[in-house]
Structure 1
Amino acid sequence: MGNIKNILFVGVGGQGTILASKIFTEGLMEYGYDVKMSEVHGMAQRGGSVVTQVRYGEKVYSPLIEKGTVDVIVSFEKIEAARWLDYLKEDGTIIVNDYEIRPVTVLIGGETYPENIINELMEKNIHLKTINAYETAKSIGNFKVQNSILLGALVRACDLEKINWSEIIKRNVNAKFFDLNSKAFNLGVNLK
């Protein structure tokens, strides 16, 4: 438990980014890690960026992550991966949802959505795991569980499968959606 790990959750309002980071944080605390979490979701309800910083280890003194020190970025929307890339450390990992949410500025024609974001990320010297969480979530009945799929992929990337995630998910989601979220989480953990 010695080294501090820095995880950055980035997405767009309404994607469940904060819920995923809350579940992740709670699981880490139950396992005995010291955890600090900081979130920014200013315009999130209007489709704006949502960012949560999670730091965990034996002893963590600050919730804030400096540029160039993130171990894993979990990007719920692919343009957010590019936007936060400068926070990733040299041997860091990005888990990116190959999913687009076009901002209002693009929808009204003021800007264009960047093409080939995934290809540009692949050209960087980073560990990249691309997941189509939208299609995977849709295949099990509800596209809204993309966050649980991405959370599962993060848990695997951080080698944290030994934590009782099922119990933590159960405490944090509505009982009628527990089975669906649990299934989505397990799909994320088992994605190759």
Structure 2
Amino acid sequence: MSKVKSILFVGVGGQGTILASKILSQGLLESGYDVKMSEVHGMAQRGGSVSTQVRFGEKVYSPLIEKGKADIIVSFEKSEVARWLEYLKDGGHAVVNDYEIHPVPVLIGKESYPEGVKEKVQGEVKNSIFVKAGDIAKELGNIKAQNVVLLGAVIKALELENMDWDGVIERLVPKKAVELNKKAFRVGMDQVK
């Protein structure tokens, strides 16, 4: 593969955005790709925006994704995708967690949660996949696994499912959460047709 692929992960602090990016990066490295990853924590501890950028291919010179160049945007919270759509290239994919986290201004009634995000994204991005990752993770036993549900969907969308993802999850996820995350990963892949 000589073409570089660019994946932008966006979410809210505490959703596991960075761990999902690390699992993806490690799996790609172990499969022989050149990988670069950049992370921005922002106000992560206060529920603020978090983003990571992963680029991989035969040779990657920079981890940074320019506007209009992301092959995939992975949004861990529904409204976050709207903030980052300008980074998606024409024909790119959006993998979105159909899950809402209301920021403090919304919770105290100073602002309203954005309406129509799903419809806007589906109207602008032909290749959009909405996954109820939060609900799926709750059903599996822990909402914290929503990040790995989304990662499974991304792996399937990228057609990279034939790598040793179970092994990577075993090495990067705390031992007590390994089996849950393996299940979450498989269910996430099943969300993409």
Same fold (TM > 0.5) = yes
**Does 2:55 align with 1:55?**
yes
**Does 2:180 align with 1:165?**
no
* TM-score normalised per structure 2: 0.97
Structure 1 CA distance, aligned partners of 2:11 and 2:112? 18
Give the corresponding residue for 1:65.
65
Structure 1 CA distance, aligned partners of 2:22 and 2:125? 30
Structure 1 CA distance, aligned partners of 2:173 and 2:37? 19
Q: Deviations over 1:162-191 (max 9, x none)?
A: 110000000111111100000000101112
Native 8 Å contact 2:94 2:125 kept in 1: no
Q: 1:10-159 alignment to 2 at 5 Å?
A: 10-159=10-159
Native 8 Å contact 2:13 2:45 kept in 1: yes
Q: Deviations over 1:83-141 (max 9, x none)?
A: 10000000000000000001112112221111121011111143100000111111111
* Count of matched residue positions in the alignment of Structure 1 and Structure 2: 192
Structure 2 CA distance, aligned partners of 1:118 and 1:186? 24
The runs of 5 or more residues in structure 1 that have no matched partner are none
Letter in structure 2 aligned against 1:184: A
Letter in structure 2 aligned against 1:42: G
1:81: how far off? 0.6
Change in 2 beyond 3 A, CA 1:145/1:125 = closer
Structure 1 range deviating more: 100-109 or 71-80: 100-109
* TM-score normalised per structure 1: 0.98
Structure 1 CA distance, aligned partners of 2:144 and 2:37? 23
1:62: how far off? 0.6
Letter in structure 1 aligned against 2:13: G
Structure 2 CA distance, aligned partners of 1:166 and 1:55? 21
Native 8 Å contact 2:92 2:125 kept in 1: no
Give the corresponding residue for 1:184.
184
Native 8 Å contact 1:155 1:189 kept in 2: yes
SS of 1:114's partner is coil
User: RMSD of aligned C-alpha atoms?
Assistant: 0.8
